[in-house]
Amino acid sequence: MKRHSLVLIIGLFCVSTKVCGQGNLKQFFQECGVKGSTTIYDYKHQKWIYSDSLDAQKLSLPASTFKIINLLIALETKVIKDENEVVKWVGKTDTTLYGFRPEIYRDMTVKEAFEVSAGWVFIELAKKIGRKNYTKYLKACHYGNVDLSEKGTDFWNFGRFGISPQNQVNLLKDIYEEKLPFSKQNYKILKKIMITEKTNDYIIRAKTGWTRDGGIDSGWWVGYVENKKNTYFFATRITKKRTESNPNFGQCRKTITKTILKQIKAVQ
């Protein structure tokens, strides 16, 4: 499918990202006290919606949004047989890698690890997958810059590996269309465990991400909404200095995104 670079004209959105539409969308980030952007692709009309078209092209670490493709690679390489496979707790708490959440330090299924974003599980899977397989699949999926120079296993949270919001959206669209080198069964598994909200009117499949690197907090929410008339793919990335206190930072990823999705009537 041809990828267009047009901006949808709906409500607050304007023809050019240089005029009022972009400014109006930026107010949602200002209200949350963060910087960032939301990038949306309207599948039915094949059109892009940007809050900041320049930021949509900038690369940064994917953080836990990498679990989307990481799960597919783990399944396809047969590192795990399915989402119900249990990964044994490694028996040590390295908060540099695994974060400050003691409730995740236990044996758990890959499905649960995806849902609660237990980073240590996917680090253990990454050790078995290996950089050669990552390079192969990331290139085949046109995922980010494929810079795996970070020596640590957790290369999606630290180092020079990066992906842009628009690239995130294109990946999600390819997953939706099942155009990448993964089996139908593995797509089915991923799409099932990505469901974060389901109503009579729409389904949201998505993944959050949050990393702290170079003195910056970087938060993501990426996914897609299927309603009765259309599908919308989205990637929101917000940032702030780590020295700045903002207790709503994590929630802002979803608040901003859903506000914009409501504006375009993707969700109720």
Catalytic sites, residue numbers: 64
d(CA 130, CA 152): 12
The neighbouring-strand residues paired with 239 are 35, 218
Q: Per the structure block, which two tokens stand in for 143?
A: 């995922």
Collapsing DSSP states into helix, strand and coil, what is residue 163?
strand
Inter-residue contact 52 to 17 (CB < 8 Å):
yes
- 30: exposed, middle or buried (C-beta count within 10 Å: 0-12, 13-18, 19+)? exposed
CA distance to 7, 126, 216, 220, per residue, from 240 (Å): 27, 28, 6, 12
Cβ atoms of 162 and 61 within 8 Å: the answer is yes
β-partners of residue 108 are 87
